[in-house]
Structure 1
Amino acid sequence: MLPSAPGPAPRCNTPAEELDDWRRRILSLTSIASLCGAPQVTLPFTSVAGLPVGLGFMGPPGSDERLLELAVQVMQLLQATPLAHGQGQVTQQS
């Protein structure tokens, strides 16, 4: 498991300079799987101040189907369990 991003998603009106910094930081998290040839899936985990926050799961090369099965199980567990962080609830995105 690893964060999907360096923090909550930036707002639409975020200045370009701040977005560039955010993009550099997100690449340090998302490029790991690509460089290793490993599958990665991101789940909508919660929200902070109304902004979505995701949690990434990465598996070894060739574990794509098992990783997706795990993602489904984790989402089912999260939807059934009240959370005590962020807004206190999982926000599901389509």
Structure 2
Amino acid sequence: MLKPLLDPHFADVAPTSSVLTGYDEDHMLTYIRLLDASADGADWREVARIVLHIDPEQEPERAFRAWATHLARARWITRNAASRQSAR
């Protein structure tokens, strides 16, 4: 795996591929930040602003969609990695 980018550009919607993509690799730190924020119970608007750099006041639908799809992708990656580990 290549080194993830520290502050990558974000697509409005995260990938839905059934395999890990280059976008996923570039955004691995972002996915970790989203999972941490979710575990801490952070408000999605705050996370969208800080992590995804999207202003939820100016673009509420875009901010929510980006937050929700990227968090879902982060969870998918976590589940997929866990199932691969248990299969070994």
TM-score by length of 1: 0.29
Q: Specify which structure has the higher proportion of strand.
A: 1
Structure showing greater Rg: 1
